[in-house]
Amino acid sequence: MSSAATAEQLPRHEDLVDERLVRWWFFAALLYIAVSMTGGIIMALQLIHWSPFNGIELMSAGRWRMIHTNAVAYGFIACAFLGVLEWAVPRLTLQPVMSRKLSYFIFFAWQAIVLSTAAAIIIGPTLQAQPWVASLSEKYHLPMGLGAQGLEWGETPFWVDPVALFGLALVAANFLTPIAKSKGPTYVTLWYFMAAFVWTFLTYAMGNFLPEYALTGTSAGAVSGLFIHDLVGLFVTPLGWGTMYYIVPIILKKPIWSHGLSLVGFWGLAFFYPLQGIHHFLYTPIPMFLQYGAIISTIAVEFVVATVVINFMATLWGDGRQVVTNIPLRWFYCGMIFYFITCFQCALQVTLTFQKLIHFTDWVVGHAHLVMFGVFSMWIFGMMTYLFPRLLNREWHSRKLCEWHFWLSAVGVFIMFLDLGLAGVFQGYYWSSLQPWDASVNGSHPFWVTRLFAGLMIFGGFVCFVCNLYMTTRPSTATSTVPVPAT
C-alpha cells in the first residue's frame, strides 16, 4: 500500500478478517488444552499412586501421555496460531486469505486430524488386538498397525500422516497467497510466518515418513531427534516470534528497536536451529561428529536468542510500566523472559558434562514445560486476552480473573520448572551412584507431588480464564467496570 493511501482506500477489516473463524480456532484450541491438562493431571496422579483410574486400560498413563503431548502441539498450539494467522496475515498484507471456503475446510479437516489421532491413541491398541483387525493388517502389510506410532509427536497413525501433510500444504497456500499479493513491506513477522509454512511442511514430512518407511537404526534415531526439536524450533518458534514482532509494536505504538537485530534473529534461527536435533540423543551410537555439531549449534543459537530478547527489551525501554498495566503485554514479556531462561538452560544442559547427570531425568520434562507452556502458551494466552475483546466486541468481564489467570499460570509453571529441574539433578545422582532404581523413584516422590500441585495451579488459572470468557460472552454480564486495557 503506497504511503499516499488514505484510510478510505484501505480495505475494510470485515473484508479482510473472518472473525468468526478466528473465534472458532481459539475455542477449539481451548478445548484441546483442557483435554491436554486433564491428561497431564491423570499422569501426575498416577506417578504418585493417587490415580482413581488404576487398572482401567483406556485411562492408562501411557495413552494419556500421548494425548497430553499431541493435544498440546497439534490441538492447542496449532489451532491457536492458525487463529492468530487468520487475524494477522490479512491485516498485515491488506489482502484476504486465498479462499475463505478453504479456511473453513482447513478448520474442519484439522479437527478431524486431531480427533482421529486421539482416537487412534486411545482405542488403537485395543482395536489392533481384535483378530479381524490383526488379520487385515497382516493381509495388507500394515506393519505400523492402526494405532499410534512410537515416536514422540510422530504418533499420528500412518493413515492420518498423508492427510495432515496435505492439510499443511493447504495452510501454506492459503496464507502465502496474500503475502505474495501484498504490495506493502515484507515485515519481519511475515518472514517468520513464511518460513514457518515451509519448515512445518518439511519437518512433518521428515518425522512422519522417513523413520517409518525409509530409515532404521541410528539414522532413524538421528532423524527422530531432528523432528522433535524442529517441531518446536521450526513450527512453533517462528509462529511465536512472528506473532511477537506483530503485536508488541502495535501495543507499544512504536517500531521494534532494531530492524538489523531482527534479521540477525531470523537468519540465526534459520541457520542454527535445524542442526540441533541430535542433542536429544547425546551419548548414543549416533556418530560423535553429529553430536558435537548439534552441541555447538545449540550453544550458538543461545547467542541468537540473546539478540532477539535484547531487541524486545530495548523496544520496551521507557514504557516498562505498561507491563504492569497491560495484561497482554505482561504475558508476552513474561514469555520472553522464560524463553531466555529456557534457552540459557539449554546451552548448559547440552554439554556432555551436564548430560552425564541429567540425561533421561525429569530435568528435561521441566525444560519442556517451560518452553511449551511458559513461552508459547503464554504468548497464545496473551494474544487471546488481547483479541477476545475485539472478537466479541466487549471488554473482559473481570480484570481480576485475567490477573488470576496470569499469576496462577506464571507462578505454576515456574514452580513446575524448578521442581522438575531439581528432581532431575537428584535422579541423576541416584542413578550415577548405582543405587537401586526404587531408591530414585522413592526420592522423586516429593517432587512429583509438588508437580501435581503446580499443575493444579496452572489448571486453576485456565479455569479462571474460561469462566471469564463465559461471563464475557453472556450479554447480561458483559459490561466491565474496569476494562482490561488491551492496547
Write out the DSSP string of 159-208.
TTHHHHHHHHHHHHHHHHHHHHH--S---HHHHHHHHHHHHHHHHHHHHH
Examine residue 472 and tell whether it contacts ligand HEM (CB under 6 A).
no
Q: Which three cell numbers stand for residue 296?
A: 555447538
Which span sits near ligand HEM by CB under 6 A: 38-46, 272-280, 319-327, 384-392? 38-46
Q: Identify which of residues 40 and 328 has a Cβ nearer to ligand HEM in the complex.
A: 40
Q: What is the smallest separation between the CB atom of 229 and ligand HEM, expressed in angstroms? A: 12
One residue of 41, 295, 346, 370 binding ligand HEM per CB under 6 A: 41
Q: Identify which of residues 52 and 143 has a Cβ nearer to ligand HEM in the complex.
A: 52
- What residues have CB less than 8 Å from 297, skipping those under 6 apart? 272, 273, 275, 276
Examine residue 79 and tell whether it contacts ligand HEM (CB under 6 A).
no
- Hey, CA dihedral for 234, 77, 307, 93, is it positive or negative? positive
Q: Which three cell numbers stand for residue 287?
A: 556418530
Owner of C-alpha cell 486469505: 97
Binding mask 140-179 for ligand HEM (x = CB under 6 A): ------------x---------------------------
Q: Identify which of residues 48 and 109 has a Cβ nearer to ligand HEM in the complex.
A: 48
Examine residue 65 and tell whether it contacts ligand HEM (CB under 6 A).
yes
Which residue from 191, 139, 201, 141 is spatially nearest to 170, judged by alpha carbons?
A: 201
Q: Identify which of residues 47 and 387 has a Cβ nearer to ligand HEM in the complex.
A: 47
Which span sits near ligand HEM by CB under 6 A: 36-44, 237-245, 276-284, 307-315? 36-44
Q: Which three cell numbers stand for residue 254?
A: 512504536
- Hey, CA dihedral for 221, 222, 225, 226, is it positive or negative? negative
Q: Identify which of residues 95 and 349 has a Cβ nearer to ligand HEM in the complex.
A: 349
- What residues have CB less than 8 Å from 242, skipping those under 6 apart? 88, 188, 189, 190, 191, 192, 193, 196
Which span sits near ligand HEM by CB under 6 A: 185-193, 278-286, 303-311, 451-459? 451-459
Query: What span, in angstroms and rounded, lies between the C-alpha atoms of 87 and 391?
Result: 10
Examine residue 188 and tell whether it contacts ligand HEM (CB under 6 A).
no
Q: What is the smallest separation between the CB atom of 413 and ligand HEM, expressed in angstroms? A: 8
One residue of 459, 461, 464, 468 binding ligand HEM per CB under 6 A: 459
Dihedral angle of Cα 344, 434, 360, 206, to the nearest 10 degrees: 120
Examine residue 280 and tell whether it contacts ligand HEM (CB under 6 A).
no
Q: Which three cell numbers stand for residue 352?
A: 556432555
Residue type, 158: F
Examine residue 380 and tell whether it contacts ligand HEM (CB under 6 A).
no
Examine residue 229 and tell whether it contacts ligand HEM (CB under 6 A).
no
Please report how the helices 288-316 and 237-252 are oriented relative to each other, as an axis angle in degrees rounded to 10. 10
CB 108 within 8 Å of CB 79: no
Q: Identify which of residues 43 and 160 has a Cβ nearer to ligand HEM in the complex.
A: 43
Q: Exposed, middle or buried, 26 (CB in 10 Å: 0-12/13-18/19+)? A: buried
Q: Identify which of residues 182 and 203 has a Cβ nearer to ligand HEM in the complex.
A: 203
Write out the DSSP string of 322-333.
HHHH-HHHHHHH
- What residues have CB less than 8 Å from 236, skipping those under 6 apart? 73, 77, 81, 372, 376
Q: What is the smallest separation between the CB atom of 375 and ligand HEM, expressed in angstroms? A: 9
One residue of 22, 30, 44, 408 binding ligand HEM per CB under 6 A: 44
Examine residue 365 and tell whether it contacts ligand HEM (CB under 6 A).
yes
Q: Identify which of residues 172 and 418 has a Cβ nearer to ligand HEM in the complex.
A: 418
Coil/strand/helix, residue 51: coil
One residue of 17, 29, 35, 43 binding ligand HEM per CB under 6 A: 43
- What residues have CB less than 8 Å from 288, skipping those under 6 apart? none
Which span sits near ligand HEM by CB under 6 A: 66-74, 78-86, 391-399, 467-475? 66-74
Q: What is the smallest separation between the CB atom of 474 and ligand HEM, expressed in angstroms? A: 26
Q: What is the smallest separation between the CB atom of 65 and ligand HEM, expressed in angstroms? A: 5
Q: Identify which of residues 68 and 279 has a Cβ nearer to ligand HEM in the complex.
A: 68
Owner of C-alpha cell 480473573: 401
Instruction: Give the footprint of ligand HEM on this chain (CB under 6 A).
Output: 37, 40-41, 43-44, 65, 68-69, 72, 152, 364-365, 368-369, 372-373, 377, 455, 458-459
